[in-house]
Structure 1
Amino acid sequence: MAEISCIVCAYNEGERLRDILSAVDGHPALKEVIVVDDGSTDGTDALLRDYPGVQVISYGRNRGKTYAMSQGVAAATGDHLMFLDADLAGLGRAEIDSLAAPIETGRAKVSISLRRNSLSLYRAIGLDFVSGERVIPAWLIRDQVEVMEALPRWGGEAFINQRIIEAGLRIEVVDWPGVSNIRKYRKTGLLQGVWAECSMVRDALRVLSPVGLVRQNLQLLRLVNRRRVVAQLRWPLDRRETSAARRAGAGPFE
């Protein structure tokens, strides 16, 4: 059975973080829960004292998500790492079960969430390349902590994606139709939110060129367990089309 360390990176997420901790604290699928407080100034430290079973890593200056991820990786002891963003709405214990299931059952080596408000393009192709909710084997990045510390603030997912590709790990996408992430403009206002979103894109491009990002996305898609994706996503397919496909032996519906 996989030993999964759950890493949550938080910066001024307030009560949203409490909702995440309610889903993961004491969850039987998780060996440990690690919260990295990335220099929060909103009383996050006081909130965390309500969860004595959660390991807390904190430091005084905001260093960015990728640095926070690296500190969680350095502290984790499990053979798998589950990353969760702290700004999710609608996350429950069932979603944690579903994200862990592909690893526990051996169907895939990596699982990645597809949230309700993932970009329409990502939902159409069945993979959110920049999803912050994923499970990966710890060996993939355990020796890359110093490298991650030096990456741009929002470069972590692009870096991990490249490691997944290089290792050729099979991916299962897990549909989370009841979960969405809170957009930055709703937390900080329109101008700051737009600036933050642009900064995320800029940082990804500092890890890989535009051509490199497109190539990475195509390479990731080739690793997706297609049969499981269709089964998980529960798209509103016409039942007659689905039955006909089954009778014809079409692979994705088997």
Structure 2
Amino acid sequence: MVTKNITSIELKTDSNREFFLVHGYTGSPTDFKKLPYLLNQKFDANVRIILLPGHGTKVEDLDDVTYEDLINALTVELEKDIKLGREIVIGGVSLGGLFALLLASKYSVNGLFNIYSPYVLKFPFNSKGLALAGKHIKYWKKLNISARKREMREGLFSYSYIHGNGLSILKRASNELQKNISNVICPTISISSNTDSISRRDSLDILHNNLGSIIKKKRRFSTRQHNFLSHNIFFSEAESEIYEEIINFVESNSLFSNLIQQPKRVVAIVPSYNEAPRIGNVLEVITKVNVIDEIIVVDDGSIDSTEEIVKKFKDVKYLRNDKNIGKAESMERGVRSTNASILFFCDADLINITKEIIQDIITPVIDGKFSMFIGLRGNIMQKTVHLFAINSGERALTREVWEKLPYYFKYKYRVEAGLNYYVRKYFGGFGVKTFNYSQPIKEKKYGFLRGTYLRWSMNIDVFLAYLREIIETYI
């Protein structure tokens, strides 16, 4: 049963650029939702998504479709486009992601994105019992999906059943890829989520580590949308972020030879929790900094008038967490809501901060002199103990640094110490400069008892970050 008949998607332009996309098993070209049209418009590129053999009609038409039928159909079409001399970026979702990787292991392409590629299956999909069952039970009824998901799929193609042959085809594709994955040498981004219903949790890491690509990136989203036998992250709340992630990867790595490099965009991200008395003064300054293109305040569940004050600044984007999740997680949310290539993080309670100070922190990163630059405050504590000084919240860094920072460090107050360690180890160090500005001490802001408790909580987080550094360095 299908909800809508479907055909291949062919978006044409006069350019030599092409995105060759591969949909999933019991899926269709509509698997990618808006992505083909965004790629077509953004890059003036041809976009092709051929309808795989047996697909687009009824599930019974998949009865005799084999792995060879699918890979051969893709190979024939890709070779046609290569003979036209096109610059090709391949992409795929689910089984289509495995096929995209297989094609990239054989043909010279400009780049690759694979989404939800089930490289290493989880139980029970890796069991022989389920594989045997698939040979005897042709059609597996899909579980009921939420009203929200039905709404997201409205007007798009879908089957009501999964075909039993799908698992054996998927395993065959995975086995073939394991033999050839080191031959994938083009720039590659691999995307998955924490709720992938088919792949093992470490599947993304194993795939990423075995690629032969020098330029490669992995991204694991946190989503709540996926149910058993539902395997397409485009039908989740992360949809828009995935579009941005793919477009940014194509742009930042210039996957097409005649792409014009976009100017570097700078975003100021201000995590805030109950800083109503102070955040207005900080925003007054940030809004006057010429090199900043975008300002985002992430309110970490404040119960004071922070929202009211922030919304007085018309050019400031306001995000509010439903509950208090911590500084690092708020910073992460800010990053995910922008496509800026340079990130400036700034605390919301600064005293005597100026636009000149902020510009002096950001400029060395814009100019490419450093991957991260830290502004040191004039606090007594920071003047006395250098270890505390370099954990300053005012810093500019490239998006690449943030994306590569391990998740262990993106937790509460570990984040600054974690950034220091990671940039020192993997990006050749960072720049620092002392400026005449400060921050009120916690004991003054919150009272002696609560302030002392919060300070020691922060110190413990910082200690854990440095402990991790020591362990990774010497053990």
When normalised by structure 2's length, the TM-score is 0.41
Cα deviation for residue 182 of structure 1 reads 1.0
Give matches, 1:43-192, under 5 Å: 43-117=305-379, 118-122=381-385, 128-142=389-403, 147=407, 151-177=410-436, 179-192=437-450
Higher normalized contact order (CA 8 Å, seq sep 6+, divided by chain length)? 1
User: What SS is found at the alignment partner of 1:173?
Assistant: strand
Given residue 56 of structure 1, which amino acid in structure 2 is its aligned partner?
Answer: Y
Given residue 120 of structure 1, which amino acid in structure 2 is its aligned partner?
Answer: K
Runs of 4+ in 1 over 4 A off after TM superposition: none
Q: Which moved more, 1:45-54 or 1:102-111?
A: 102-111
State the alpha-carbon separation in 1 of the partners of residues 389 and 264 from structure 2. Answer: 24
Q: Does 1:7 pair with 2:269?
A: yes
Given residue 395 of structure 2, which amino acid in structure 1 is its aligned partner?
Answer: R
Instruction: Give unpaired runs (5+ residues) of structure 2.
Output: 1-262
Cα displacement string for residues 3-61 of structure 1 (whole angstroms, at most 9, x for unaligned residues): 21111000001131001100112521112111100000111111111012111110231
> 1:27 matched to which residue of 2?
289
User: What SS is found at the alignment partner of 2:428?
Assistant: coil
Number of residue equivalences: 210
> 2:131 matched to which residue of 1?
none
> 1:200 matched to which residue of 2?
458
State the alpha-carbon separation in 1 of the partners of residues 427 and 354 from structure 2. Answer: 30
Sort the Cα spacing of 1:168 and 1:143 in 2 relative to 1 into closer, same or farther, 3 A.
Answer: closer
Cα displacement string for residues 142-182 of structure 1 (whole angstroms, at most 9, x for unaligned residues): 3659x26x8542111122223212323342212212x1011
State the alpha-carbon separation in 2 of the partners of residues 211 and 167 from structure 1. Answer: 12
Cα deviation for residue 76 of structure 1 reads 2.4
Cα deviation for residue 109 of structure 1 reads 2.5
Sort the Cα spacing of 1:105 and 1:152 in 2 relative to 1 into closer, same or farther, 3 A.
Answer: closer
Q: Is the 8 A contact 1:184 1:193 kept in 2?
A: yes
User: What SS is found at the alignment partner of 2:289?
Assistant: coil
State the alpha-carbon separation in 1 of the partners of residues 417 and 465 from structure 2. Answer: 7
Considering fraction of residues, name the structure with more helix.
1
Q: Is the 8 A contact 1:152 1:206 kept in 2?
A: no
State the alpha-carbon separation in 2 of the partners of residues 51 and 38 from structure 1. Answer: 18
Q: Percent identity at matched positions? A: 26
State the alpha-carbon separation in 2 of the partners of residues 211 and 4 from structure 1. Answer: 29
State the alpha-carbon separation in 2 of the partners of residues 79 and 211 from structure 1. Answer: 26
Q: Is the 8 A contact 1:20 1:86 kept in 2?
A: yes
Q: Computing the radius of gyration over CA atoms, which structure comes out larger, 1 or 2?
A: 2
Sort the Cα spacing of 1:151 and 1:112 in 2 relative to 1 into closer, same or farther, 3 A.
Answer: closer
Sort the Cα spacing of 1:98 and 1:185 in 2 relative to 1 into closer, same or farther, 3 A.
Answer: same
Cα displacement string for residues 91-115 of structure 1 (whole angstroms, at most 9, x for unaligned residues): 1111111111212333322210111
State the alpha-carbon separation in 1 of the partners of residues 301 and 282 from structure 2. Answer: 18
Taking only aligned residues, the RMSD between alpha carbons, in angstroms, comes to 2.5
User: What SS is found at the alignment partner of 2:313?
Assistant: coil
When normalised by structure 1's length, the TM-score is 0.75
> 2:470 matched to which residue of 1?
212
